[in-house]
C-alpha cells in the first residue's frame, strides 16, 4: 500500500501561483503528456484522493473529466457533485488516517494524493511513501507551497532524476522508514 504524490512545482517550490493559477506548468512546451510519465504513473495507481480545491480546479478546466480511475474528494464541506460524475467521483470525509484505511479496505491500495493542503496533511502524519516532483524552470516568488511545517524531519531516498523536454527536472523519492 502506497500513498504517492506526482506533482509539478516551480523552482521555488510552489504548486500554484499567487492567484491559484497553474498556467506556469505550461511554460515549457509539451507536445506529448507521455513525456512527463503521467500515463504510466496513472496505470500504477488504484485511485486518486484529492482535496476540495484541487477537485474544483479540475472541474474549472471544463471539458471531459480527465480521470478514468476512481476519484475520492476529501472534504468536510462539499455536499454534491455534478450528475455526470456519478460513479466516478465520491466525497469522503474524516481524518486522513481513517479515510486511507477505508480506501485500502475497499481494495484501493496505491493512492495518488493530490492537493496542496492534503499533501501537507499527509506529510504531517508521515503518510507519504513516494514523491515524484517535476520542477518547471520558473520562479513564482509566492503562491501555494508544496511543503509546509512538519513536527519532525522526514528522510527520503532518492530513486532517480530525469531531465524532460530539456527543461523540466523530475525527481523520484521514496520515504525511508
Alpha-carbon dihedral 164, 17, 97, 129, rounded to 10 degrees = 20
pLDDT at 124: 97
pLDDT band at 98 (very low <50, low <70, confident <90, very high): very high
**pTM of whole model > 0.85?**
yes
Per-residue pLDDT, averaged over 96-125, amounts to: 97
Whole-angstrom distance, CA of residue 111 vs CA of residue 165: 27
Whole-angstrom distance, CA of residue 95 vs CA of residue 59: 24
pLDDT at 111: 98
State pLDDT tens for residues 2-19: 999 999 999 999 999 999
Per-residue pLDDT, averaged over 89-114, amounts to: 97
List domains and CATH numbers for the chain. Answer: 2-11+34-175 (3.40.430.10)
Residue 32 clears pLDDT 70, i.e. is over it: no
State pLDDT tens for residues 33-59: 667 888 999 999 999 999 999 999 999
The x, y and z cell numbers of residue 7, run together, are 506533482
Give CA 118 to chain center in angstroms: 9
Whole-angstrom distance, CA of residue 65 vs CA of residue 84: 9
State pLDDT tens for residues 111-167: 999 999 999 999 999 999 999 999 999 999 999 999 999 999 999 999 999 999 999
Whole-angstrom distance, CA of residue 44 vs CA of residue 47: 10
Amino acid at each position: 500500500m502506497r500513498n504517492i504524490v506526482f506533482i509539478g512545482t516551480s523552482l521555488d517550490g510552489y504548486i500554484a501561483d499567487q492567484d491559484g493559477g497553474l498556467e506556469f506548468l505550461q511554460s515549457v512546451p509539451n507536445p506529448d503528456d507521455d513525456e512527463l510519465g503521467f500515463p504510466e504513473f496513472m496505470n500504477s495507481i488504484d485511485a486518486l484522493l484529492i482535496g476540495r480545491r484541487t477537485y474544483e480546479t479540475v472541474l474549472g478546466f471544463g471539458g471531459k473529466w480527465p480521470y478514468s480511475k476512481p476519484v475520492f474528494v476529501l472534504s468536510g464541506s462539499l455536499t454534491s457533485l455534478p450528475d455526470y460524475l456519478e460513479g466516478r467521483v465520491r466525497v469522503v470525509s474524516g481524518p486522513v488516517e481513517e479515510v486511507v484505511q477505508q480506501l485500502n479496505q475497499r481494495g484501493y491500495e496505491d493512492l495518488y494524493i493530490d492537493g496542496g493542503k492534503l499533501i501537507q496533511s499527509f506529510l504531517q502524519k508521515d503518510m507519504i511513501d513516494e514523491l515524484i516532483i517535476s520542477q518547471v524552470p520558473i520562479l513564482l516568488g509566492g503562491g501555494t507551497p508544496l511543503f509546509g511545517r512538519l513536527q519532525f524531519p522526514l528522510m527520503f531516498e532518492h530513486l532517480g532524476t530525469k531531465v524532460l523536454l530539456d527543461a523540466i527536472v523530475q525527481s523520484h523519492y521514496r520515504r525511508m522508514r
